[in-house]
Structure 1
Amino acid sequence: MTTESTDFDHLLRSNLERVFNERDEDKRRAAIAELFVEEPVMYEPAKIVRGRSEISRVAGDLLQQFGPAFRFVPDGVAVGHHGLARLAWHAGPEHGPVAVTGADVAEIEGGKISRLWVLLNAP
Structure 2
Amino acid sequence: MSDHSYEREDLPDHRRGVRDAGLIVGGLLFAGFLVAGAAVRVFGPAPSEGLEGAIPTDVLRQLRADLEAEWAARADAWEWLDRGHGVARIPVARAAEISLARGFPTRRDPPRPVTARVLPR
By relative contact order (CA 8 Å, sep 6+), the higher-ranking structure is: 1
TM-score strictly above 0.5: no
Which structure has the larger Rg over C-alpha atoms? 2
TM-score category (smaller protein): under 0.3
TM-score between both structures, scaled by the size of structure 1: 0.19
- Higher share of residues assigned helix: 2
